[in-house]
Structure 1
Amino acid sequence: MKILILGATGFIGSVIAARLCKDGHMVTGLARNPDRVRVKHLSIHWIKADLAEMTHPSNWDAVLSGYQIVINCAGALQDGLSDDLAAIQEKAMLALYAAAAQSAIEFVVQISARTKGAGQDQPFLATKRHADKALVASGLNHIILRPALVLGRNAHGGTALLRALAALPYLLPLIHAQSPVETVSVDDVASIVSAAVAGELQSGTDIDLAASEILTLRELVILHRSWLGLPPARVVPMPAGLAKPVTWAADIAGRLGWRSPLRSTAMAVMSEGVLSRRDAQYLRGECLATAVETLGANPSGVQDLWFARLYLLKPLMIGGLALFWMLSGIIPMLAPMAASRHFLPFMSGGMAMALTLTTCFLDIALGAFVVVRPFARSALFGMLAVTLAYLVGGTLLEPSLWLDPLGPLVKVLPSMLLTLAALAVLEER
């Protein structure tokens, strides 16, 4: 069959796409940057599209032409520079259903979420709920799947945070440590989607996907620590009130385009836990894999340990570079005459002052842009280029600075290494 997958580049969508390709289907994915993902997913055909801009049925007419099945794995946790939550999860979906009803689409599989309980009024769950209701009312043949916390070989969002928390040294500080959490293997989700595509599930089915066990967040983090091969560490339960400054900072980062799993929506859901309706633990006579079984089937490697240890360091890297560059621009402006003295032997006082102010504003701009996700990569490369220019200029104009006891040029080298490290871990998928 010819299948169109929304969110095919994501944690769940990529596994579903791979499974359906293995099943022999012709799979097409939507992507904002298909040239980039095409290199990684060679067996999938790609269409360039942005769901946030596909909010009218006419936007879907050409996209849906020739396909029989649509699988929606797309989603966004909260609004931000990179995501328009209402457009992606609700408006685009309503437009899709309207267009699909007038096309040759035979079946829609919706990967949704548990939309009741704590956090049900959060935009993430509210838009999911509205889209689900619209799908049911559309008259289209469909199946809605509601996975619990999804675990797999790779990690993203909440599962990435689990690994990061598990890798903390000595102590494991946890908020909502006793919250119950159900899990499901991403491979099981893909298998169930495969069964749905094969017609093994009845149209209109609405299924919660969760393994038979319920672990607390504490137990799940300890399990991941063991999976990473790290020695036991003491779990320190933290008051729920401490979540507020964390979610506040994460929400700001989200507005700047960083998709942090610590945003207020995730914390609101975790306050109650991740629980299903407990009515679909078994499907087609098969038991869904538990967290222990899922991790056991995917032994960790050193790359998983590196990822876990670097995950929480990444925002500190970006924040540290931003602070360093902005301060390096602000401090000289407090005493511009003194800062411009290094240039006086080579140019006039006016030119020295102009050059000093220019470099200050450039430093401040780089520090500001690096915290804005769409500009972060360019800002990091800019930092490397400007640093090299400073080093070359300083070496040519005043080589004695290399021997200065305070090491003004020598100390620049570690900042370059930090910039390279930030570039190395910048990608989110």
Structure 2
Amino acid sequence: MRVLVTGASGLIGTALCARLAAGGHDVVRVLHRPSVAPFTGPPPILLDMANALRAQDWIPHLAGADAVVNCAGVLQDSVRENTQHVHTGGASALFAACEQANVKKVIHFSAIGVDRQQPSAFSASKLAGDEALMARDLNWVILRPSVVLGRPAFGASALFRGLAALPLLPVMPDTGRLQVVQLDDVISTVLFFLRPDSPSRLALELAGPEALSMNKVVACYRHWFGWNSAREFILPNWAAAILYRVGDAAARLGWRPPMRSNAAKEIERGAVGDPQPWIAETGIQPSSLATALSLNPATVQERWFAGLYVVKPAIFVVLPFFWIMTGVISLTTGWRSGVELLIDTAVGALAGPAVVAGALADMIVGALIAWRPTGRLGLFGAIALSLFYAIAGSILRPELWNEPLGPLMKILPILVLHFVALAVLEER
């Protein structure tokens, strides 16, 4: 078959495309931005669902397609994402295009429970997309998975690994139970419904066999890592609210933290459902989390990732703060010290302008690191600036290498931290 897959760089989309390609299918991947992930098939189509709001935007890409699988989704509105446009506007345009292009088979990913409650823009827009598909003359299947976990460290799979690495586990208040479902079971379900003889025009909840609390899910991952149980404490509501607001602020800078206000609303209602209709239709017996983890023993790479998960946001808070505040201090309380440091050197006549230039360069680098789309550029700029300061300092004031507080010596760990930041910058 020729299958067009939207959201092809996400957790479900990536795994699905790999399975389809391995099965000999012709896979047309739709991405909203370029991906470095290798793929044996043809180059992807770069098309952002948030901007593809007309059927005409999709029809050229549906030529020869036998089926469409819509895996596109975003958690919350931000500077880079729009739930209404992706889940409703773009999805509706895609479904209309499928009807016009006579692509009858459409499999659409929604979310569990959206037909019962819509506490956020995420679930409300998901439901609107479901209804748009149901109104079309298509052989549609709507899959509403619970929290999807798999071997790839992405989304919830990454979050639970990171939480499992904490020796003291903060438990968010007012969280519902989760019937987590395994990625392999989800992919097998899609492959089942892509068969020509499969049923259609039905909506199914994909839920695991157990309803677990979030701390129980984390405990399963700690056991998988081979670690003892963590001490738990329930975060006060005010502390949880601050964390969610910090996540919202990070999203406005282009980052994609899992803890945002939409997530708070969604986890409060939980992610539980009835898997029996799914089992009856497909014959797939969903795996429990413990069983799935036991089949894939944790590796040292898994433990590294878990340990770095909570370190990464700390790095990308500290580095912008360091560079911006260095510039601010140079222009304010540290002005005299900066000028005096240069006054007796070869650039003494330009001491004032040099301090201003350095301070502005520091603040620009910090701002670039803080803004996710320019983060990589900012890190390379910071490395270049650090090397310049080390070389210039060695020429102009070599005695600073021998100072008790080591002002030039400290450039070395700063450089290393920037290379660590580059290594963990990628989100997918």
Q: Is TM (by shorter chain) over 0.5?
A: yes
The aligned runs of 1:370-409 (5 Å cut-off) are 370-409=369-408
> 1:61 offset after TM fit, Å?
1.9
1:425 maps to 424
| Aligned 8 A contact 1:369 1:379 in 2 | yes
Farther off after superposition, 228-237 or 116-125: 116-125
2:246 pairs with 1:249: yes
1:7 counterpart letter in structure 2:
G
1:237 counterpart letter in structure 2:
I
Helix, strand or coil: the match of 2:36?
helix
Farther off after superposition, 107-116 or 130-139: 107-116
| Aligned 8 A contact 1:330 1:360 in 2 | yes
1:282 maps to 279
1:336 counterpart letter in structure 2:
W
1:316 maps to 314
Match of residue 195, structure 2, among 194, 198, 203: 198
Separation in structure 2 between the aligned mates of residue 179 and residue 58 of structure 1, nearest angstrom: 41
| Aligned 8 A contact 1:118 1:269 in 2 | no
1:258 maps to 255
Q: 1:251 to 1:380 in 2, by over 3 A?
A: same
- For residues 225-275 of structure 1, give each alpha carbon's deviation from its aligned partner in whole angstroms, at most 9, with x where no partner exists: 001111222222333443100000001111111111101111111123211
2:15 maps to 15
1:4 maps to 4
- For residues 185-207 of structure 1, give each alpha carbon's deviation from its aligned partner in whole angstroms, at most 9, with x where no partner exists: 10111101001001353111100
1:242 counterpart letter in structure 2:
A
Q: 1:372 to 1:57 in 2, by over 3 A?
A: same
> 1:141 offset after TM fit, Å?
1.4
- For residues 330-385 of structure 1, give each alpha carbon's deviation from its aligned partner in whole angstroms, at most 9, with x where no partner exists: 11111423312222234566622111101101101111221111011110111000
1:189 counterpart letter in structure 2:
V
1:213 maps to 210
Match of residue 224, structure 1, among 204, 216, 221: 221
1:25 maps to 25
TM-score, normalization by structure 2: 0.95
2:110 pairs with 1:112: yes
Q: 1:117 to 1:371 in 2, by over 3 A?
A: farther
2:262 pairs with 1:293: no
> 1:26 offset after TM fit, Å?
0.6
The aligned runs of 1:101-140 (5 Å cut-off) are 101-116=99-114, 120-140=118-138
TM-score, normalization by structure 1: 0.95
| Aligned 8 A contact 1:115 1:126 in 2 | no
2:172 counterpart letter in structure 1:
I
Separation in structure 2 between the aligned mates of residue 118 and residue 139 of structure 1, nearest angstrom: 24
Helix, strand or coil: the match of 1:212?
coil
1:150 maps to 148
2:91 maps to 93
| Aligned 8 A contact 2:139 2:200 in 1 | yes
> 1:104 offset after TM fit, Å?
3.0
| Aligned 8 A contact 2:33 2:48 in 1 | no
CA RMSD of aligned residues (A): 1.9
Separation in structure 1 between the aligned mates of residue 262 and residue 174 of structure 2, nearest angstrom: 17
| Aligned 8 A contact 1:144 1:207 in 2 | yes
2:363 maps to 364
Q: How many residues align?
A: 426
> 1:23 offset after TM fit, Å?
2.2
1:268 maps to 265
Separation in structure 2 between the aligned mates of residue 177 and residue 132 of structure 1, nearest angstrom: 28
Helix, strand or coil: the match of 1:208?
strand
Separation in structure 1 between the aligned mates of residue 412 and residue 116 of structure 2, nearest angstrom: 48
Farther off after superposition, 194-203 or 245-254: 194-203
1:227 counterpart letter in structure 2:
W
1:249 counterpart letter in structure 2:
V
- For residues 54-92 of structure 1, give each alpha carbon's deviation from its aligned partner in whole angstroms, at most 9, with x where no partner exists: 111111121222212110111111122332222222111
| Aligned 8 A contact 1:178 1:218 in 2 | no
Separation in structure 1 between the aligned mates of residue 190 and residue 414 of structure 2, nearest angstrom: 47
> 1:32 offset after TM fit, Å?
3.5
| Aligned 8 A contact 2:114 2:124 in 1 | no
| Aligned 8 A contact 1:177 1:218 in 2 | no
Separation in structure 1 between the aligned mates of residue 44 and residue 240 of structure 2, nearest angstrom: 40
1:304 maps to 302
Farther off after superposition, 73-82 or 347-356: 347-356
1:67 counterpart letter in structure 2:
A
Separation in structure 2 between the aligned mates of residue 395 and residue 160 of structure 1, nearest angstrom: 43
2:4 counterpart letter in structure 1:
L
Separation in structure 2 between the aligned mates of residue 282 and residue 293 of structure 1, nearest angstrom: 18
Separation in structure 2 between the aligned mates of residue 314 and residue 178 of structure 1, nearest angstrom: 25
Separation in structure 2 between the aligned mates of residue 384 and residue 234 of structure 1, nearest angstrom: 39
The aligned runs of 1:42-53 (5 Å cut-off) are 42-43=40-41, 45-53=43-51
> 1:119 offset after TM fit, Å?
6.8
Separation in structure 1 between the aligned mates of residue 130 and residue 71 of structure 2, nearest angstrom: 13
2:185 maps to 188
| Aligned 8 A contact 1:135 1:142 in 2 | yes
> 1:44 offset after TM fit, Å?
5.2
Q: 1:271 to 1:234 in 2, by over 3 A?
A: same
Helix, strand or coil: the match of 1:262?
coil
2:76 maps to 78
Helix, strand or coil: the match of 2:232?
strand
Separation in structure 1 between the aligned mates of residue 115 and residue 407 of structure 2, nearest angstrom: 56
2:172 maps to 175
Q: 1:35 to 1:124 in 2, by over 3 A?
A: closer
Farther off after superposition, 347-356 or 54-63: 347-356
